[in-house]
Amino acid sequence: MKTVGWDDIGYNYLVGEDGNAYEGRGWDHKGAQVRACNSVSLGFSVIGNYNTRLPNISALSVVKQLIACALHEVRTPYAC
């Protein structure tokens, strides 16, 4: 954040391999991860280095849950 002068985390949620989701900007604030599409996207970041392996099943499960919740929220606002 200091290097590029950002005020906060640009992702809506960060996901740990401990199976937890950590709120960045949350659902209610536009992310800053996809310059041209921030107003119509959600940003999830899995915490870690995945140059030589994929995130573990716990992290991937949480990402899937967040996506399902986001889709459900579109259909039935404030249900998650």
pLDDT (tens digit, 9 = 90+) per residue, 39-67?
Answer: 888 899 999 999 999 999 999 999 999 99
Vertex 66: Cα angle to 16 and 57 (nearest 5): 45
Whole-number pLDDT of residue 74: 63
Identify the sign of the CA torsion 38, 42, 47, 53: negative
The CATH number of 13-75, from 1.10.600.10, 3.40.80.10, 3.40.1390.10, 2.170.190.11, is: 3.40.80.10
Nearest to 54 by CA among 10, 1, 15: 15
Whole-number pLDDT of residue 75: 59
pTM of the model: 0.79
What digits encode the pLDDT tens for the residues 12-44? 999 999 999 999 988 888 888 888 888 888 899
